[in-house]
Amino acid sequence: MAGTDRQREMLAEGPAIILVEPQLGENIGMVARAMANFGLAELRLVNPRDGWPNEKARAAASRADHVIEAAKVYDSLAGAIADLNFVQATTARPRDNFKPVRGPVEAAEDLRMRHRHGQRTGILFGRERWGLTNEEVGMADEIITYPVNPAFASLNLAQAVLLMAYEWMKTAPQGAVEPAGPQLTPATKQHLESLMGYLDRVLSERGYFRTEDKKPKMMDNLRALFTRPGFTVEELAVLRGVLVSLERFSPRRPKGAGGAETEERT
Amino acid sequence: MAGTDRQREMLAEGPAIILVEPQLGENIGMVARAMANFGLAELRLVNPRDGWPNEKARAAASRADHVIEAAKVYDSLAGAIADLNFVQATTARPRDNFKPVRGPVEAAEDLRMRHRHGQRTGILFGRERWGLTNEEVGMADEIITYPVNPAFASLNLAQAVLLMAYEWMKTAPQGAVEPAGPQLTPATKQHLESLMGYLDRVLSERGYFRTEDKKPKMMDNLRALFTRPGFTVEELAVLRGVLVSLERFSPRRPKGAGGAETEERT
């Protein structure tokens, strides 16, 4: 319970996302969705062109209603960042000023460190058509640029937000967000040896090895084949089932037709 | 000039992005834009719902015309991945199978390494509403899941593509020393499909699948078993030799004894 609460709390924290004069409601909605995907919840809008609330934004948010409903609207950028300790500005073009420029990974790590120290942070995103003014960039502490294809550098607004939210999430303390998958434990060598013994027998019976002097090399190849994947016990069982089916049954005497089962020996 | 050419070349390489039955043209267009942002160019569409070409896709691509125009359409996933050596599938939910699960960073590093060794790779993305079927996931070598907020895990299609394209771009060489090692090139999916077709036939003939309704799940397991190792063409040939030996010959009629060879059909 405490763990769940802590996780939920963690996922509601993080930098504020500040959209400066966003033009399309759809984009605001997609920004909200991207934020929710990666555990950000605080959206601030500076003079959204089509006003607020915006039905198109809600529709595009795809149920990230908690972000949309909590969004705050400001009539100036200065007002929107007044309570923040540290602000990053995202830009596509290099700027002629003295601010440090960071990539998203480094920027997110910095945000996480500041977060741990109790600082309040935010990230600025400009208008869809032409980004942030130099004056707006000037209000930030640092600049973030993305490692985009120089020949095609214009990121959609929601995509730009997504990447920073994603990098923020990746800096989360481990445990909460690790992708969980099946742990594949290779079967013990004993299991593998059993399969090799079985193959030796059934293939020898069928003349697979042609001549005795070719057999050691061919067995080596078979062993390499079935060792390399690190098959699990379960996988070896499925494999064995296939081999046994081919060994014991035939189109004329399929499984269940009686007779063949009596030959059973594994 | 040479530098520019080389850069352009680099930016046209990388994994194919394969959209399985994408529903909205807008999403296909935004995928193309995200690909262009991070230097991917090869888009493959399996049965796009609204046909192809699609004007909405072109409009949403925001001038990523080179990606849209080069997109290829396929009528089956098997056809779309036939020439690829290694395929990753993106999924939101954990799957009940034997495949390795990776996060985007690790997945992109693996793609980059394979790329350096001349392998052709691809990443599968499912339908907007419900993703990939288990059977489709089964055709991939590995699974990618994103470190998303568990409470809000559904990524927009273009966002999902963007993240992998971004991670791919981040692995681009920057003068770093390339880790070198022996590399086994997995057979193309076409080779693997041929094996699966063979197994389907010879196991069906032998009653391996017990009942028709159990067969799809059992085939899924077999596909997972033989996909996971990334077997090379040579390994698949050895494996096929084992299976054929069991299929065609018996202790009473071993290879070379005459008779059985006439049944040959592979």
Q: Is the dihedral of CA A185, A190, A194, A200 positive or negative?
A: positive
Is A95 in the same domain as A194? no
* Range scoring the smallest mean pLDDT among B52-66, B102-116, B165-179: B165-179
Which chain B residues have a beta carbon less than 8 Å from that of A210?
Answer: 255-256
Q: What's the burial of A245, exposed, middle or buried (CB within 10 Å: 0-12/13-18/19+)?
A: buried
A164/A37 same-domain check: yes
**Does residue B75 sit in helix, strand or coil?**
coil
Full strand arrangement of the beta sheet holding B86-90: B72-74, B43-46, B16-20, B121-125, B86-90, B142-144, B101-102
- Each residue of B68-95: pLDDT tens digit? 999 999 999 999 999 999 999 999 776 6
* B159 and B205 fall within a common domain: no
At residue B28 the predicted structure's pLDDT band, cuts being 50, 70 and 90, is very high
Can you read off the two tokens belonging to residue A148? 């985009």
Which percentage of chain A shows pLDDT scores above 70? 86
Do B207 and B161 belong together in one domain?
A: no
Q: What is the distance in angstroms between the Cα of A6 and the nearest Cα belonging to chain B?
A: 13
CB atoms within 10 A of CB A107: 24
A113 contacts chain B (CB < 8 A): no
How many Å apart are CA A196 and CA A178, to the nearest integer?
A: 37
| Beta-ladder partners of B138 | none
Tokens read off for A41: 């919840």
Task: Output the pLDDT for position A92.
Answer: 78
- Whether residue B257 sits in one domain with residue B142: no
d(CA B24, CA B17): 16
Give me the amino acid identity at B224.
A
Within A47-124, where are the H helices? 55-60, 65-70, 77-80, 104-116
How many CA atoms lie less than 13 Å away from A199 in the CB half-sphere?
27
Tell whether B134 and B33 lie within a shared domain.
yes
Strands annotated E in chain A: 16-20, 43-46, 72-74, 86-90, 101-102, 121-125, 142-144
* Interface contact flag, B100 A256, Cβ < 8 Å: no
Same domain, B130 and B248: no
CATH number, position B52: 3.40.1280.10
Percent of chain A with pLDDT over 90: 48
* Domain presence at residue A164: yes
Assigned token pair, A40: 């950000």
First-to-last CA distance in chain A? 49
Which DSSP string corresponds to A174-210? TTSSPPP----PPPPHHHHHHHHHHHHHHHHHTTTT-
Quick check: is B195 in a domain?
yes
Residues A94 and A38 in one domain: yes
A171 pLDDT band, cuts 50/70/90, is very high
Q: Is residue A180 included in any domain, yes or no? A: no
Same domain, A217 and A136: no
Inform me whether the pLDDT recorded for A262 exceeds 60: no
Collect all residues of chain A within an 8 Å Cβ-Cβ radius of residue B246.
Answer: 202-203, 206, 243, 246-247
Residue A196: list chain B partners with CB under 8 A. Answer: none
Show which of A117, A140, A170 is a domain's final residue.
A170
CB of B255 closer than 8 Å to CB of B249: yes
Chain B residue closest to A163 (CA)?
A: B163
CA distance B31 to B125: 11
B173: left (phi over 0), alpha (psi -120 to 50) or beta: beta
Last residue of a domain, one of B140, B170, B200: B170
Q: What is the number of residues in chain A?
A: 266
Q: Using CB atoms and an 8 Å cut-off, which of residues 140-169 of chain B contact chain A?
A: 143, 145-156, 158-159, 162-163, 166, 169
Domain that holds residue A211: 189-263
Q: Indicate whether B98 and B225 sit together in one domain.
A: no
Instruction: Tell if the CB–CB gap between B239 and A229 is shorter than 8 Å.
Output: no
Phi and psi torsions of B101, nearest 5°: -115, 130
Q: In this structure, what token pair is assigned to residue B263?
A: 């049944």
Distance from CA of A78 to the nearest CA of B (A): 30
Pair A69, A200 in one domain: no
Cα–Cα distance measured from residue A209 to residue A212, given in angstroms and rounded to the nearest whole number: 7
Do the Cβ atoms of B159 and A254 come within 8 Å? no
Asked if A200 and A219 touch (Cβ cutoff 8 Å), the reply is yes
Contacts of B38 in chain A (CB under 8 A): 147-149
Domain assignment present for residue B182? The answer is no
The answer as to whether B175 is a domain residue is: no
Among A87-96, A99-108, A158-167, B128-137, the range scoring the smallest mean pLDDT is A87-96
Decide if B176 is inside a domain. no
Tens-digit pLDDT profile for residues B183-237? 567 888 888 889 999 999 999 998 999 888 999 989 988 988 888 888 888 888 8
Residues of chain B contacting residue A247, judged by C-beta atoms under 8 Å apart: 246
Q: Considering only A200-204, B69-73, B173-177, which range has the smallest mean pLDDT?
A: B173-177
Please state the rounded mean pLDDT for residues B109-118.
Answer: 91
Q: Residue B179 domain-assigned? A: no
Look-up of token digits 């909460």? A176
Tokens of B172: 């681009």
Are B193 and B64 part of one and the same domain? no
In a domain, A3, yes or no: no
* Number of compact structural domains in chain A: 2
Q: What is the ipTM of this complex?
A: 0.71
Check pLDDT > 90 for residue B61. Answer: yes
Mean pLDDT of chain B: 85
Lowest mean pLDDT among A15-19, A165-169, A189-193: A189-193
